[in-house]
Structure 1
Protein backbone atom coordinates (compact mmCIF):
# COMPACT_ATOMS: atom_id res chain seq x y z
CA UNK A 1 0.00 0.00 0.00
CA UNK A 2 1.40 3.41 -1.00
CA UNK A 3 1.83 6.11 1.59
CA UNK A 4 -0.40 9.13 0.92
CA UNK A 5 1.44 12.45 0.44
CA UNK A 6 1.60 14.77 3.39
CA UNK A 7 -0.98 17.54 3.44
CA UNK A 8 0.39 21.10 3.53
CA UNK A 9 -1.40 21.43 6.87
CA UNK A 10 0.02 18.18 8.26
CA UNK A 11 2.04 18.53 11.46
CA UNK A 12 4.80 16.33 10.03
CA UNK A 13 5.13 18.69 7.05
CA UNK A 14 5.57 21.65 9.38
CA UNK A 15 8.20 19.76 11.37
CA UNK A 16 10.12 18.91 8.18
CA UNK A 17 10.11 22.54 7.08
CA UNK A 18 11.44 23.62 10.47
CA UNK A 19 14.26 21.08 10.28
CA UNK A 20 15.21 22.21 6.77
CA UNK A 21 15.16 25.87 7.81
CA UNK A 22 17.39 25.14 10.80
CA UNK A 23 19.89 23.32 8.58
CA UNK A 24 20.27 26.29 6.24
CA UNK A 25 23.11 28.40 7.56
CA UNK A 26 23.75 31.94 6.34
CA UNK A 27 26.68 32.32 3.97
CA UNK A 28 29.12 35.01 5.02
CA UNK A 29 30.24 37.16 2.10
CA UNK A 30 33.68 38.64 1.77
CA UNK A 31 33.68 42.31 2.91
CA UNK A 32 34.36 43.65 -0.60
CA UNK A 33 31.51 41.62 -2.09
CA UNK A 34 29.15 42.56 0.75
CA UNK A 35 29.96 46.26 0.36
CA UNK A 36 29.42 46.10 -3.42
CA UNK A 37 26.04 44.40 -2.97
CA UNK A 38 24.99 46.95 -0.36
CA UNK A 39 26.01 49.83 -2.65
CA UNK A 40 23.99 48.42 -5.55
CA UNK A 41 20.90 47.99 -3.36
CA UNK A 42 21.18 51.52 -1.98
CA UNK A 43 21.69 52.95 -5.48
CA UNK A 44 18.63 51.12 -6.74
CA UNK A 45 16.55 52.40 -3.81
CA UNK A 46 17.80 55.96 -4.41
CA UNK A 47 16.99 55.76 -8.13
CA UNK A 48 13.50 54.47 -7.30
CA UNK A 49 12.82 57.37 -4.91
CA UNK A 50 14.03 59.91 -7.50
CA UNK A 51 11.92 58.32 -10.24
CA UNK A 52 8.78 58.37 -8.08
CA UNK A 53 9.27 62.09 -7.44
CA UNK A 54 8.55 62.62 -11.15
CA UNK A 55 5.17 60.89 -10.88
CA UNK A 56 1.94 61.95 -9.18
CA UNK A 57 0.06 58.93 -7.84
CA UNK A 58 -3.43 58.81 -6.40
CA UNK A 59 -4.34 55.71 -4.43
CA UNK A 60 -7.88 54.36 -4.22
CA UNK A 61 -7.71 54.59 -0.41
CA UNK A 62 -6.91 58.31 -0.44
CA UNK A 63 -9.77 60.67 0.37
CA UNK A 64 -9.78 64.02 -1.45
CA UNK A 65 -13.48 63.81 -2.38
CA UNK A 66 -15.46 67.07 -2.56
CA UNK A 67 -19.19 67.64 -3.01
CA UNK A 68 -20.31 68.93 -6.42
CA UNK A 69 -24.09 68.83 -5.97
CA UNK A 70 -26.31 66.64 -3.82
CA UNK A 71 -25.47 63.02 -4.56
CA UNK A 72 -22.43 63.81 -6.73
CA UNK A 73 -18.84 64.14 -5.55
CA UNK A 74 -15.49 64.55 -7.34
CA UNK A 75 -11.88 63.65 -6.60
CA UNK A 76 -9.10 65.62 -8.30
CA UNK A 77 -6.46 63.44 -9.96
CA UNK A 78 -4.40 65.98 -11.88
CA UNK A 79 -4.55 69.67 -12.71
CA UNK A 80 -2.49 70.70 -15.72
CA UNK A 81 -1.89 74.07 -17.31
CA UNK A 82 -4.95 73.75 -19.56
CA UNK A 83 -7.06 70.90 -18.22
CA UNK A 84 -7.85 68.76 -15.21
CA UNK A 85 -8.69 65.11 -14.62
CA UNK A 86 -11.10 63.87 -11.96
CA UNK A 87 -13.06 60.89 -10.73
CA UNK A 88 -16.78 61.61 -10.32
CA UNK A 89 -19.12 59.44 -8.29
CA UNK A 90 -22.92 59.53 -8.62
CA UNK A 91 -25.30 58.16 -6.04
CA UNK A 92 -28.38 56.39 -7.49
CA UNK A 93 -30.75 59.03 -8.87
CA UNK A 94 -28.21 61.88 -8.69
CA UNK A 95 -27.67 64.27 -11.60
CA UNK A 96 -25.60 67.16 -12.98
CA UNK A 97 -27.38 70.07 -14.72
CA UNK A 98 -27.26 70.90 -18.42
CA UNK A 99 -23.90 72.39 -19.44
CA UNK A 100 -21.71 73.33 -22.39
CA UNK A 101 -18.15 72.07 -22.87
CA UNK A 102 -15.36 74.62 -23.31
CA UNK A 103 -12.68 71.94 -23.32
CA UNK A 104 -12.39 68.63 -25.11
CA UNK A 105 -13.91 66.29 -22.52
CA UNK A 106 -13.25 62.55 -22.33
CA UNK A 107 -15.34 60.27 -20.14
CA UNK A 108 -14.77 56.62 -19.25
CA UNK A 109 -17.44 54.82 -17.23
CA UNK A 110 -15.71 52.71 -14.60
CA UNK A 111 -18.81 51.47 -12.79
CA UNK A 112 -22.58 51.76 -13.09
CA UNK A 113 -24.61 53.75 -15.62
CA UNK A 114 -25.15 57.28 -16.93
CA UNK A 115 -28.00 58.78 -18.94
CA UNK A 116 -27.62 61.88 -21.12
CA UNK A 117 -30.86 62.72 -22.94
CA UNK A 118 -31.62 59.47 -24.83
CA UNK A 119 -28.06 58.11 -24.49
CA UNK A 120 -27.37 55.38 -21.94
CA UNK A 121 -23.71 54.52 -21.26
CA UNK A 122 -22.40 51.82 -18.95
CA UNK A 123 -19.21 50.38 -17.47
CA UNK A 124 -16.48 50.16 -20.10
CA UNK A 125 -18.05 52.72 -22.44
CA UNK A 126 -16.07 55.76 -23.60
CA UNK A 127 -17.81 59.07 -24.33
CA UNK A 128 -16.22 62.13 -25.92
CA UNK A 129 -17.62 65.67 -25.96
CA UNK A 130 -15.66 68.13 -28.16
CA UNK A 131 -15.27 71.75 -27.10
CA UNK A 132 -18.41 73.68 -28.00
CA UNK A 133 -20.74 70.70 -27.64
CA UNK A 134 -23.56 70.62 -25.12
CA UNK A 135 -24.91 68.01 -22.74
CA UNK A 136 -28.38 67.96 -21.28
CA UNK A 137 -28.95 66.81 -17.72
CA UNK A 138 -26.51 63.99 -16.83
CA UNK A 139 -28.00 61.52 -14.38
CA UNK A 140 -27.42 58.02 -13.03
CA UNK A 141 -30.20 55.57 -12.31
CA UNK A 142 -28.20 53.04 -10.33
CA UNK A 143 -25.12 55.05 -9.36
CA UNK A 144 -21.84 55.40 -11.22
CA UNK A 145 -18.12 56.07 -11.01
CA UNK A 146 -16.55 57.80 -14.01
CA UNK A 147 -13.19 59.22 -15.07
CA UNK A 148 -13.34 62.67 -16.70
CA UNK A 149 -10.59 64.57 -18.45
CA UNK A 150 -11.08 68.17 -19.63
CA UNK A 151 -13.56 69.40 -17.03
CA UNK A 152 -14.26 72.60 -15.12
CA UNK A 153 -15.34 70.90 -11.88
CA UNK A 154 -13.61 72.63 -9.00
CA UNK A 155 -13.54 76.06 -10.68
CA UNK A 156 -16.74 77.83 -9.60
CA UNK A 157 -16.55 80.56 -12.24
CA UNK A 158 -16.02 78.08 -15.07
CA UNK A 159 -18.83 75.83 -13.85
CA UNK A 160 -21.23 78.80 -13.88
CA UNK A 161 -19.99 79.73 -17.38
CA UNK A 162 -20.64 76.16 -18.59
CA UNK A 163 -24.21 76.17 -17.25
CA UNK A 164 -25.10 79.66 -18.53
CA UNK A 165 -23.72 79.14 -22.04
CA UNK A 166 -25.60 75.83 -22.29
CA UNK A 167 -28.71 77.89 -23.11
CA UNK A 168 -27.08 79.40 -26.19
CA UNK A 169 -27.57 77.77 -29.61
CA UNK A 170 -25.52 74.61 -30.08
CA UNK A 171 -22.18 74.95 -31.83
CA UNK A 172 -19.25 72.62 -32.35
CA UNK A 173 -19.08 68.93 -33.12
CA UNK A 174 -21.55 66.50 -31.57
CA UNK A 175 -20.44 64.13 -28.79
CA UNK A 176 -19.80 60.51 -29.71
CA UNK A 177 -19.49 57.20 -27.87
CA UNK A 178 -17.39 54.06 -28.22
CA UNK A 179 -19.08 51.12 -26.51
CA UNK A 180 -17.13 48.59 -24.46
CA UNK A 181 -17.70 45.99 -27.17
CA UNK A 182 -16.87 48.29 -30.08
CA UNK A 183 -13.53 49.31 -31.55
CA UNK A 184 -10.57 47.26 -32.69
CA UNK A 185 -7.88 45.78 -30.47
CA UNK A 186 -4.45 45.69 -32.14
CA UNK A 187 -1.41 43.70 -31.02
CA UNK A 188 1.25 46.04 -29.70
CA UNK A 189 3.82 43.62 -28.30
CA UNK A 190 3.64 40.05 -26.95
CA UNK A 191 0.75 39.91 -24.49
CA UNK A 192 -0.20 43.59 -24.99
CA UNK A 193 -3.13 44.94 -27.02
CA UNK A 194 -4.23 48.53 -27.64
CA UNK A 195 -7.66 50.01 -28.42
CA UNK A 196 -7.54 53.59 -29.70
CA UNK A 197 -10.12 56.01 -28.33
CA UNK A 198 -8.85 59.45 -29.36
CA UNK A 199 -6.07 60.78 -31.60
CA UNK A 200 -5.19 64.46 -31.38
CA UNK A 201 -2.42 66.55 -32.86
CA UNK A 202 0.22 65.48 -30.36
CA UNK A 203 -1.77 63.43 -27.82
CA UNK A 204 -3.78 60.23 -27.84
CA UNK A 205 -6.05 58.21 -25.58
CA UNK A 206 -6.34 54.45 -25.58
CA UNK A 207 -6.96 51.33 -23.56
CA UNK A 208 -4.06 48.95 -23.02
CA UNK A 209 -4.77 45.31 -22.17
CA UNK A 210 -1.73 43.69 -20.55
CA UNK A 211 -1.71 39.91 -20.09
CA UNK A 212 -0.18 38.29 -16.99
CA UNK A 213 3.61 38.54 -17.24
CA UNK A 214 3.55 40.90 -20.23
CA UNK A 215 5.33 44.23 -20.56
CA UNK A 216 4.86 47.40 -22.58
CA UNK A 217 8.37 48.38 -23.76
CA UNK A 218 9.85 51.62 -22.43
CA UNK A 219 10.06 53.06 -25.92
CA UNK A 220 6.27 52.86 -26.31
CA UNK A 221 5.15 54.33 -22.97
CA UNK A 222 4.05 57.96 -22.83
CA UNK A 223 6.81 60.48 -22.16
CA UNK A 224 4.18 62.56 -20.36
CA UNK A 225 0.85 61.00 -19.62
CA UNK A 226 -1.92 59.70 -17.41
CA UNK A 227 -2.39 56.06 -16.45
CA UNK A 228 -5.51 54.72 -14.75
CA UNK A 229 -5.85 51.04 -13.85
CA UNK A 230 -9.39 49.95 -14.70
CA UNK A 231 -9.13 46.21 -14.01
CA UNK A 232 -6.57 43.98 -12.34
CA UNK A 233 -3.29 45.46 -11.16
CA UNK A 234 -0.17 46.60 -12.95
CA UNK A 235 3.15 48.37 -12.58
CA UNK A 236 4.00 51.84 -13.83
CA UNK A 237 7.74 51.58 -13.59
CA UNK A 238 8.30 49.89 -10.24
CA UNK A 239 5.12 51.23 -8.61
CA UNK A 240 2.19 48.82 -8.27
CA UNK A 241 -1.25 50.26 -9.04
CA UNK A 242 -4.51 48.44 -8.37
CA UNK A 243 -7.93 48.98 -9.93
CA UNK A 244 -9.06 52.59 -9.48
CA UNK A 245 -5.54 53.95 -8.92
CA UNK A 246 -3.92 56.66 -11.01
CA UNK A 247 -0.45 57.77 -12.10
CA UNK A 248 0.58 60.96 -13.88
CA UNK A 249 4.06 60.80 -15.41
CA UNK A 250 5.53 64.29 -15.57
CA UNK A 251 7.40 65.54 -18.62
CA UNK A 252 10.76 64.97 -16.90
CA UNK A 253 9.98 61.38 -15.86
CA UNK A 254 12.57 58.77 -16.78
CA UNK A 255 11.64 56.08 -19.29
CA UNK A 256 9.64 53.27 -17.70
CA UNK A 257 7.78 50.08 -18.55
CA UNK A 258 4.18 49.11 -17.97
CA UNK A 259 3.77 45.54 -16.81
CA UNK A 260 1.51 43.21 -14.89
CA UNK A 261 1.96 39.94 -13.02
CA UNK A 262 -1.74 39.07 -12.96
CA UNK A 263 -3.16 41.01 -15.93
CA UNK A 264 -4.41 44.59 -16.13
CA UNK A 265 -6.48 46.99 -18.20
CA UNK A 266 -5.00 50.51 -18.36
CA UNK A 267 -6.48 53.76 -19.64
CA UNK A 268 -3.72 55.93 -21.09
CA UNK A 269 -3.75 59.53 -22.25
CA UNK A 270 -0.64 61.42 -23.20
CA UNK A 271 2.09 62.25 -25.65
CA UNK A 272 2.58 58.65 -26.65
CA UNK A 273 5.27 57.36 -28.99
CA UNK A 274 4.46 57.42 -32.69
CA UNK A 275 4.78 53.63 -32.84
CA UNK A 276 1.95 53.35 -30.33
CA UNK A 277 -0.25 55.91 -32.09
CA UNK A 278 -0.02 54.12 -35.43
CA UNK A 279 -0.59 50.54 -34.25
Structure 2
Protein backbone atom coordinates (compact mmCIF):
# COMPACT_ATOMS: atom_id res chain seq x y z
CA UNK A 1 0.00 0.00 0.00
CA UNK A 2 1.49 3.38 -0.97
CA UNK A 3 1.02 6.50 1.07
CA UNK A 4 -1.42 7.79 -1.59
CA UNK A 5 -3.93 5.16 -0.38
CA UNK A 6 -3.57 6.17 3.26
CA UNK A 7 -5.72 9.02 4.59
CA UNK A 8 -4.13 12.37 3.68
CA UNK A 9 -3.37 14.87 6.46
CA UNK A 10 -6.17 17.24 7.38
CA UNK A 11 -5.79 20.95 6.63
CA UNK A 12 -4.19 22.82 9.53
CA UNK A 13 -6.76 24.50 11.80
CA UNK A 14 -7.27 28.22 11.27
CA UNK A 15 -6.05 30.03 14.42
CA UNK A 16 -8.41 32.93 13.62
CA UNK A 17 -11.49 30.79 13.12
CA UNK A 18 -14.62 32.67 14.31
CA UNK A 19 -15.39 30.03 16.93
CA UNK A 20 -11.98 30.43 18.58
CA UNK A 21 -11.96 34.22 18.34
CA UNK A 22 -15.23 34.26 20.24
CA UNK A 23 -13.80 32.14 23.03
CA UNK A 24 -10.83 34.50 23.41
CA UNK A 25 -13.03 37.58 23.76
CA UNK A 26 -15.42 38.77 26.47
CA UNK A 27 -17.05 37.54 28.61
CA UNK A 28 -14.77 34.49 28.51
CA UNK A 29 -11.49 36.40 29.06
CA UNK A 30 -12.79 37.93 32.30
CA UNK A 31 -14.15 34.56 33.42
CA UNK A 32 -10.71 32.96 33.00
CA UNK A 33 -9.15 35.64 35.21
CA UNK A 34 -11.79 35.15 37.90
CA UNK A 35 -11.35 31.37 37.82
CA UNK A 36 -7.63 31.79 38.38
CA UNK A 37 -8.23 33.77 41.58
CA UNK A 38 -5.61 36.34 40.69
CA UNK A 39 -5.15 37.59 37.09
CA UNK A 40 -1.37 37.34 37.43
CA UNK A 41 -1.41 33.58 38.06
CA UNK A 42 -2.39 32.63 34.51
CA UNK A 43 0.17 35.03 33.05
CA UNK A 44 2.91 33.64 35.30
CA UNK A 45 2.09 30.07 34.31
CA UNK A 46 2.13 30.90 30.60
CA UNK A 47 5.45 32.76 30.88
CA UNK A 48 6.97 29.90 32.87
CA UNK A 49 5.86 27.36 30.24
CA UNK A 50 7.24 29.52 27.42
CA UNK A 51 10.57 29.97 29.24
CA UNK A 52 10.99 26.25 29.91
CA UNK A 53 10.00 25.38 26.33
CA UNK A 54 12.46 27.88 24.84
CA UNK A 55 15.26 26.57 27.05
CA UNK A 56 14.61 22.96 26.00
CA UNK A 57 14.42 23.80 22.28
CA UNK A 58 17.92 25.31 22.27
CA UNK A 59 19.33 21.77 22.13
CA UNK A 60 17.68 21.21 18.72
CA UNK A 61 18.39 22.68 15.28
CA UNK A 62 15.11 23.87 13.75
CA UNK A 63 14.95 25.36 10.25
CA UNK A 64 11.91 27.24 8.96
CA UNK A 65 11.55 27.69 5.20
CA UNK A 66 11.54 31.47 5.53
CA UNK A 67 14.83 31.35 7.46
CA UNK A 68 16.77 29.21 4.96
CA UNK A 69 17.65 31.29 1.89
CA UNK A 70 18.10 29.71 -1.54
CA UNK A 71 21.73 29.72 -2.69
CA UNK A 72 22.63 29.41 -6.37
CA UNK A 73 24.85 26.38 -7.07
CA UNK A 74 24.77 26.43 -10.89
CA UNK A 75 22.50 27.55 -13.72
CA UNK A 76 19.01 26.40 -12.77
CA UNK A 77 20.22 24.84 -9.50
CA UNK A 78 19.50 26.28 -6.04
CA UNK A 79 19.75 24.82 -2.55
CA UNK A 80 18.67 25.49 1.01
CA UNK A 81 21.16 24.22 3.59
CA UNK A 82 19.27 22.66 6.48
CA UNK A 83 22.29 21.48 8.44
CA UNK A 84 26.08 21.56 8.17
CA UNK A 85 28.39 20.03 10.77
CA UNK A 86 30.81 22.41 12.46
CA UNK A 87 33.19 19.76 13.82
CA UNK A 88 35.20 16.99 12.16
CA UNK A 89 34.31 14.72 15.08
CA UNK A 90 30.70 13.85 14.30
CA UNK A 91 28.16 12.56 16.79
CA UNK A 92 26.58 9.13 16.18
CA UNK A 93 24.35 9.54 13.13
CA UNK A 94 25.27 13.19 12.58
CA UNK A 95 25.27 14.20 8.90
CA UNK A 96 28.01 16.34 7.46
CA UNK A 97 25.52 18.30 5.39
CA UNK A 98 21.80 18.26 4.59
CA UNK A 99 20.24 20.31 1.81
CA UNK A 100 17.01 20.76 -0.10
CA UNK A 101 18.03 21.15 -3.74
CA UNK A 102 15.86 22.61 -6.49
CA UNK A 103 16.58 21.73 -10.14
CA UNK A 104 14.94 23.67 -12.94
CA UNK A 105 13.64 21.64 -15.91
CA UNK A 106 16.61 20.63 -18.04
CA UNK A 107 19.21 21.74 -15.48
CA UNK A 108 22.24 19.54 -14.82
CA UNK A 109 24.20 19.39 -11.55
CA UNK A 110 27.25 17.41 -10.48
CA UNK A 111 27.47 17.66 -6.68
CA UNK A 112 30.90 17.51 -5.04
CA UNK A 113 30.52 14.35 -2.96
CA UNK A 114 33.39 13.11 -0.83
CA UNK A 115 34.69 9.59 -1.51
CA UNK A 116 34.39 8.65 2.17
CA UNK A 117 30.73 9.70 2.37
CA UNK A 118 27.45 8.14 1.35
CA UNK A 119 24.59 10.24 0.03
CA UNK A 120 20.84 9.81 0.53
CA UNK A 121 18.39 11.21 -2.04
CA UNK A 122 14.64 11.70 -1.57
CA UNK A 123 12.65 13.59 -4.23
CA UNK A 124 9.92 15.76 -2.71
CA UNK A 125 8.42 17.08 -5.94
CA UNK A 126 9.07 16.32 -9.62
CA UNK A 127 11.15 13.58 -11.22
CA UNK A 128 14.87 13.34 -10.47
CA UNK A 129 17.26 11.63 -12.87
CA UNK A 130 20.41 10.40 -11.11
CA UNK A 131 22.59 9.00 -13.86
CA UNK A 132 20.55 6.12 -15.31
CA UNK A 133 18.29 6.00 -12.25
CA UNK A 134 14.97 7.83 -12.34
CA UNK A 135 13.37 8.71 -9.00
CA UNK A 136 9.76 9.81 -8.47
CA UNK A 137 8.47 11.77 -5.45
CA UNK A 138 9.08 9.89 -2.16
CA UNK A 139 11.35 7.31 -3.82
CA UNK A 140 14.53 6.85 -1.78
CA UNK A 141 18.07 6.16 -2.97
CA UNK A 142 21.25 5.61 -0.98
CA UNK A 143 24.58 5.84 -2.81
CA UNK A 144 27.46 4.17 -0.95
CA UNK A 145 30.73 5.95 -0.34
CA UNK A 146 33.25 5.89 -3.22
CA UNK A 147 30.46 5.48 -5.81
CA UNK A 148 32.05 7.99 -8.12
CA UNK A 149 30.57 11.26 -9.40
CA UNK A 150 26.81 11.71 -9.49
CA UNK A 151 25.01 13.71 -12.16
CA UNK A 152 21.54 14.99 -11.28
CA UNK A 153 19.10 16.19 -13.93
CA UNK A 154 15.34 16.59 -14.23
CA UNK A 155 13.17 16.74 -17.35
CA UNK A 156 10.35 18.48 -15.46
CA UNK A 157 12.09 20.25 -12.58
CA UNK A 158 12.54 18.68 -9.17
CA UNK A 159 12.99 19.43 -5.48
CA UNK A 160 14.81 16.85 -3.38
CA UNK A 161 16.42 16.15 -0.01
CA UNK A 162 20.15 15.36 -0.13
CA UNK A 163 22.04 14.06 2.90
CA UNK A 164 25.82 13.56 3.01
CA UNK A 165 27.41 11.56 5.82
CA UNK A 166 30.29 9.14 6.49
CA UNK A 167 29.69 5.70 5.03
CA UNK A 168 31.35 2.46 4.02
CA UNK A 169 32.36 1.84 0.39
CA UNK A 170 31.52 -1.84 1.02
CA UNK A 171 27.84 -1.00 1.56
CA UNK A 172 25.28 -1.77 -1.15
CA UNK A 173 23.27 0.84 -3.00
CA UNK A 174 19.63 0.96 -1.88
CA UNK A 175 16.60 2.11 -3.88
CA UNK A 176 13.06 2.00 -2.45
CA UNK A 177 10.16 2.85 -4.77
CA UNK A 178 7.20 4.60 -3.16
CA UNK A 179 4.79 2.98 -5.62
CA UNK A 180 5.95 -0.53 -4.68
CA UNK A 181 6.81 -0.30 -0.97
CA UNK A 182 4.36 -1.04 1.82
CA UNK A 183 3.81 0.21 5.35
CA UNK A 184 4.27 -1.53 8.70
CA UNK A 185 2.21 -0.81 11.81
CA UNK A 186 4.38 1.11 14.28
CA UNK A 187 2.06 2.50 16.98
CA UNK A 188 -1.67 3.31 17.29
CA UNK A 189 -2.51 5.53 14.32
CA UNK A 190 1.06 5.41 12.97
CA UNK A 191 2.58 3.39 10.14
CA UNK A 192 6.18 3.50 9.01
CA UNK A 193 8.38 2.38 6.15
CA UNK A 194 12.02 1.47 6.76
CA UNK A 195 13.92 2.86 3.78
CA UNK A 196 17.42 1.89 4.95
CA UNK A 197 18.89 0.36 8.09
CA UNK A 198 22.58 0.73 8.79
CA UNK A 199 25.00 -0.59 11.39
CA UNK A 200 24.42 0.27 15.02
CA UNK A 201 20.66 0.83 14.72
CA UNK A 202 20.74 3.89 12.46
CA UNK A 203 17.95 4.14 9.86
CA UNK A 204 16.11 6.24 7.31
CA UNK A 205 12.32 6.05 7.58
CA UNK A 206 8.99 7.42 6.40
CA UNK A 207 6.20 7.86 8.95
CA UNK A 208 2.49 8.26 8.21
CA UNK A 209 0.32 9.30 11.17
CA UNK A 210 -3.42 9.87 11.54
CA UNK A 211 -4.80 12.96 13.29
CA UNK A 212 -4.41 12.66 17.05
CA UNK A 213 -1.54 10.13 16.93
CA UNK A 214 1.22 10.51 19.53
CA UNK A 215 4.70 9.19 20.31
CA UNK A 216 5.72 9.25 23.99
CA UNK A 217 8.88 10.65 25.56
CA UNK A 218 11.99 9.16 23.95
CA UNK A 219 15.74 9.62 23.78
CA UNK A 220 18.04 9.69 20.75
CA UNK A 221 20.99 7.31 20.38
CA UNK A 222 21.71 8.86 16.97
CA UNK A 223 21.04 12.33 15.64
CA UNK A 224 17.37 12.39 14.64
CA UNK A 225 16.31 14.40 11.59
CA UNK A 226 12.66 15.19 10.92
CA UNK A 227 11.62 16.67 7.57
CA UNK A 228 7.90 17.45 7.25
CA UNK A 229 6.57 16.33 3.88
CA UNK A 230 2.85 16.79 4.59
CA UNK A 231 0.80 17.94 7.58
CA UNK A 232 2.03 19.33 10.90
CA UNK A 233 3.59 17.92 14.06
CA UNK A 234 4.34 19.13 17.58
CA UNK A 235 7.82 18.15 18.74
CA UNK A 236 7.37 18.95 22.43
CA UNK A 237 5.93 22.51 22.26
CA UNK A 238 7.48 23.30 18.87
CA UNK A 239 5.20 23.18 15.83
CA UNK A 240 6.82 21.90 12.63
CA UNK A 241 4.95 22.59 9.39
CA UNK A 242 5.22 21.23 5.87
CA UNK A 243 8.68 21.82 4.42
CA UNK A 244 10.30 22.50 7.80
CA UNK A 245 13.13 20.57 9.47
CA UNK A 246 14.49 19.72 12.88
CA UNK A 247 17.64 17.89 13.98
CA UNK A 248 17.74 16.50 17.52
CA UNK A 249 21.37 15.68 18.45
CA UNK A 250 22.29 12.28 19.89
CA UNK A 251 21.83 12.33 23.66
CA UNK A 252 18.83 14.68 23.63
CA UNK A 253 15.25 13.78 24.57
CA UNK A 254 11.89 14.61 23.00
CA UNK A 255 9.25 14.90 25.72
CA UNK A 256 6.49 13.92 23.31
CA UNK A 257 5.42 14.06 19.67
CA UNK A 258 1.84 14.61 18.47
CA UNK A 259 -0.11 15.67 15.40
CA UNK A 260 -3.53 17.30 15.13
CA UNK A 261 -3.65 17.12 11.32
CA UNK A 262 -1.96 13.82 10.55
CA UNK A 263 1.34 13.79 8.70
CA UNK A 264 3.83 12.28 6.31
CA UNK A 265 7.33 12.70 7.70
CA UNK A 266 10.82 11.65 6.63
CA UNK A 267 13.15 10.80 9.50
CA UNK A 268 16.76 9.74 9.82
CA UNK A 269 17.71 8.48 13.27
CA UNK A 270 17.13 5.43 15.47
CA UNK A 271 15.51 2.31 14.06
CA UNK A 272 14.22 1.44 17.54
CA UNK A 273 12.95 4.31 19.70
CA UNK A 274 14.47 4.63 23.16
CA UNK A 275 11.23 5.15 25.08
CA UNK A 276 11.64 6.93 28.44
CA UNK A 277 9.26 6.96 31.41
CA UNK A 278 7.65 10.31 32.21
| Aligned-residue CA RMSD (Å) | 3.0
The residue that corresponds to 1:159 in the other structure is: none
Tell me how far 1:255 sits from its aligned partner: 2.5
Match of 1:95 among 108, 120, 124: 108
Aligned partners of 1:219 and 1:273 also within 8 Å: no
Q: 2:187 — aligned with what?
A: 189
The structure, 1 or 2, with the larger RCO (C-alpha pairs under 8 Å, 6+ apart) is 2
| Counterpart residue number, 1:72 | 77
Cα shift at 1:134: 2.7
Cα distance 1:122–1:39, how it changes in 2: closer, same or farther (>3 A)?
same
For the Cα contact (< 8 Å) 1:230–1:244, is it kept in 2? yes
**Structure 1 counterpart SS, 2:218:** helix
- Counterpart for residue 230 of structure 1: 229
d(CA) in 2 for partners of 1:53, 1:23: 38
Deviation at residue 245 of structure 1 after TM alignment? 0.6
What is the CA–CA distance in structure 1 between the aligned matches of 2:226 and 2:37, rounded to whole Å? Answer: 42
Structure 2 residue 207 is the aligned partner of structure 1 residue 208: yes
Q: Residues of 1 paired with 2:149 and 2:46: CA distance?
A: 54
CA distance, structure 2, for counterparts of residue 24 and residue 200 of structure 1 = 54
| Whole-angstrom distance in 2 between the partners of 1:24 and 1:59 | 34
* Match runs of 1:1-279 below 5 Å: 26-27=30-31, 29=34, 36-80=41-85, 81=87, 82=90, 83-97=96-110, 101-102=114-115, 103-150=117-164, 172-173=170-171, 175-202=173-200, 203-219=202-218, 224-251=223-250, 253-271=252-270, 273-274=272-273
TM-score by length of 1: 0.75
TM-score (norm 2): 0.75
The alignment partner of 1:198 has SS state of strand
For residue 36 of structure 1, report the CA deviation from its aligned partner. Answer: 4.7
How many pairs does the alignment contain?
240
C-alpha distance 225-274 of structure 1, shift in aligned 2 (>3 A): closer
Q: What displacement does 1:117 show?
A: 2.9
SS at match of 1:61: helix
SS at structure 2 position matched to 1:244: coil
